[in-house]
Structure 1
Amino acid sequence: MSILKLLYFPNKKLRNIAKPIQHIDNNIKILGQNMLETMYYYKGIGLAATQIGINKRIIVIDITEKKNNPIILINPKIIKIDKLKINSKEGCLSIPIKQKYFILRYNKIKIKAKNLKNDIIELEINNLLSFCIQHEIDHLNGILFIDYLSNLKYQRIYDKINKINHKIFFLKKQNYIK
């Protein structure tokens, strides 16, 4: 398996809307496994294909501490929501800062998706798994969790990332980083 390259905000490809997967073939199965490997490598709990520059509706998730219960969802769709929203403390592998922010998410949802065996599955989920799936489906729709923040918080994140990118550019220019 392979570790795939992550895209980082403000990369415009993160705003792409992913296309449905028509056929679950060996390439999709390999993609799912590579996405899991990438997510584990970067110590995440979820990853959407758009975060690695692939415009397909596939997400991977594993919220367990031991990283032993991976979920791969093809063409996931929320089909039912419980009206109760609660604060979810979120970060993102594509937002390279350590801070997490509170986002209002539905506590309980029902989703429909396909698994790698091409079976249609429906899951009723809540709490962290619900928040994570909503976050990853947002990615498939070109939405980042920071889009839910105030303009001021969004601007601060944008400025921090630009500062980081400027330092990296300077170090590369000086041949400190290859």
Structure 2
Amino acid sequence: MFTMNDFVKEDNPVLRKVAEEVILPPSQEDKQILNDLMDYVRNSQNSEIATQYGLRAGIGLAAPQVNISKRMIAVHLKNEKGDLVSHALFNPKLVSHSLEMSYLTAGEGCLSVNRTVSGYVPRYARIKVSGTNLEGEVVKLRLKGIAAICFQHEIDHLNGIMFYDHINAEDPFDIPEDYIPIER
């Protein structure tokens, strides 16, 4: 099980590298890593387990955050309707996106960033993602709202991009009025 001790901090060069594709079918080691990523996200949302192990709560996690430069992510959250969105994917790809943009009104945070970063992060309002799950099945997802934002954040990690790279340096809270605000 991953704990906060396994996380690299934002100045670690692994977070700025483009992660390697996972060779499919995945090895047992890669399957275990992906399972452990998902376990962390689930466990971090359970207050009893999180307190016991000192876990910071998170809704998504990418392998580079635990110093593994491979294309793997885990996302576990409830969307705006209260439906569970829970996926552990090898080689996730953003297949398409809307022209319409959105942003998280509370801003974004990251388990690899131990400071508050103020500002809005512009994201696509709707996306399509494909990837391979632990059972070896190709999964195609249509996402919007918080789920779309989370997947974009985690896929960015696989491409060496941090969430604050998207914030307008001149005016961190400047967002065009036609962007969709997402509450969390």
TM-score, L = length of structure 1: 0.77
- Provide the C-alpha distance between the structure 2 equivalents of 1:80 and 1:2, rounded to a whole number of angstroms: 32
What RMSD, in angstroms, separates the aligned Cα atoms of the two structures? 2.2
Amino acid at match of 1:31: I
**Between the two proteins, what is the percent identity of the paired residues?**
30
| Unaligned segments of structure 2, at least 5 residues | 45-54, 173-184
Give 1 or 2: higher helix fraction.
1
Q: Secondary structure at the residue paired with 1:128?
A: helix
- Cα deviation for residue 152 of structure 1 reads 6.2
Give the alignment partner of residue 46 of structure 1, picking from 52, 60, 68.
60
Q: Secondary structure at the residue paired with 1:147?
A: helix
- Provide the C-alpha distance between the structure 2 equivalents of 1:34 and 1:125, rounded to a whole number of angstroms: 24
Amino acid at match of 2:148: S
- Provide the C-alpha distance between the structure 2 equivalents of 1:153 and 1:94, rounded to a whole number of angstroms: 24
Contact 1:91–1:101 (Cα < 8 Å) also in 2: no
The equivalent of 2:114 in structure 1 is 96
- Provide the C-alpha distance between the structure 1 equivalents of 2:148 and 2:169, rounded to a whole number of angstroms: 26
- Cα deviation for residue 11 of structure 1 reads 1.5
Number of residue pairs matched by the alignment: 153
- Provide the C-alpha distance between the structure 1 equivalents of 2:134 and 2:108, rounded to a whole number of angstroms: 27
1:59 paired with 2:59, answer: no
Q: Secondary structure at the residue paired with 2:22?
A: coil
The equivalent of 1:116 in structure 2 is 134
- Provide the C-alpha distance between the structure 1 equivalents of 2:162 and 2:16, rounded to a whole number of angstroms: 8
- Provide the C-alpha distance between the structure 1 equivalents of 2:150 and 2:114, rounded to a whole number of angstroms: 18
- Rg: which structure is higher? 1
